[in-house]
């Protein structure tokens, strides 16, 4: 029997959506206010879900304390109160869209969670705008 467990987390970060190979007008036309050269910020909500078999000894799919600590060490410590474009190495050459942020989060967590378990990342940029990534 496969069960999905989830942990919610939160971080604040600034970013700018732009392509350095485009001029200011093209960036503004595509990314609008999100291309502000002085950056802008979001209060991101993150839900990380792990799906797998229930361990018959513990009754857990995954120990939620381990998942909490993993999200804290790999994601919150790396992203919280940071300028994603400048301070987070993954975004030095990758546009920090919500889609790309969700993929980066997944890739940072995947090596730490058993491969027989599936991972899903849901990232809310705003209460109404969110993306989901599960590795495919």
Active site residues: 34, 81, 125
Strands 82-83 and 118-124 come out as unpaired
């Amino acid at each position: 029997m496969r069960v999905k467990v989830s942990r919610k987390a939160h971080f604040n970060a600034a970013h700018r959506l732009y392509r350095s190979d485009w001029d200011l007008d093209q960036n503004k036309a595509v990314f609008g206010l999100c291309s502000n050269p002085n950056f802008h910020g979001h209060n991101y909500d993150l839900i990380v879900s792990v799906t797998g078999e229930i361990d018959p000894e513990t009754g857990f799919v995954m120990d939620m304390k381990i998942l909490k600590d993993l999200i804290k060490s790999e994601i919150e410590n790396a992203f919280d109160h940071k300028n994603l474009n400048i301070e987070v190495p993954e975004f030095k050459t990758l546009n920090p869209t919500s889609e790309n942020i969700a993929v980066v989060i997944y890739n940072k967590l995947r090596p730490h969670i058993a491969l027989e378990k599936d991972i899903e990342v849901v990232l809310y940029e705003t209460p109404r705008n969110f993306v989901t990534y599960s590795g495919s």
